[in-house]
Amino acid sequence: MKALAIAILLSALAQDKPKIDERKLYPFGADSERHDGVPKGTVTKWTWKSTVFAGTVRDCWTYVPAQYDKEKPAAVMVFQDGGGYQNETGAYRVPVVFDNLIHKKKMPVTIGIFVNPGVLEAKDPTTEQHRYNRTAAGSSLGLSLRQIRYRMARLGVNVGGDLAGAERD
């Protein structure tokens, strides 16, 4: 019986899935394209070396709209896994959308902060790989994997597995 279940699973995995053109399913709207006369904000890349999660380094970007005036308060929006969001030719094009919506006054002047997950850099990159492990960050705070998974589930992040009896502190 177990062998039959494995065979069915392997045959299902081996089948070619139809290619889906996500751009046809979710086409960009007009606000995702550059328009003449719309002031263009600036995106600046920077690196953050954490002291809380010792040894982790994050790529970060800051978007500042052209309309920003340091004498006036501005809204701030933070994007986790921000590298994809800050790319103005990528799937989200946040700087372009922000430029258009701020210009139309459909959103306030908003500074965007885009933060990628931390990376534990290899001590010797010639023999080791960088660690892209979010669990390591939680462990550095003294949290067990079950505690991390429980907290993620409480935030609505699907982490899979059975969380019954997970440590709740």
Tell the residue number behind the tokens 């258009």, with chain if given.
100
pLDDT at 152 over 70: no
CATH class in words for 25-120 = alpha beta
What are the DSSP calls for 37-58, one per residue?
TPPP-EEEEEEEE-TTTTTEEE
Ramachandran area for residue 7 (φ above 0: left; ψ -120 to 50: alpha; else beta) = alpha
pLDDT digits (tens, 9 = 90+) for 132-147: 555 555 555 556 666 6
Q: What digits encode the pLDDT tens for the residues 68-91?
A: 999 999 999 999 888 889 999 988
Euclidean distance between CA atoms 94 and 106, whole angstroms: 14
Given a contact cutoff of 8 angstroms between Cβ atoms, the answer to whether 57 and 122 are in contact is no
> DSSP class of residue 161?
S
Please, are residues 108 and 142 in contact by the beta-carbon 8 Å criterion? no
Give ranges for CATH 3.40.50.1820 in the chain.
Answer: 25-120
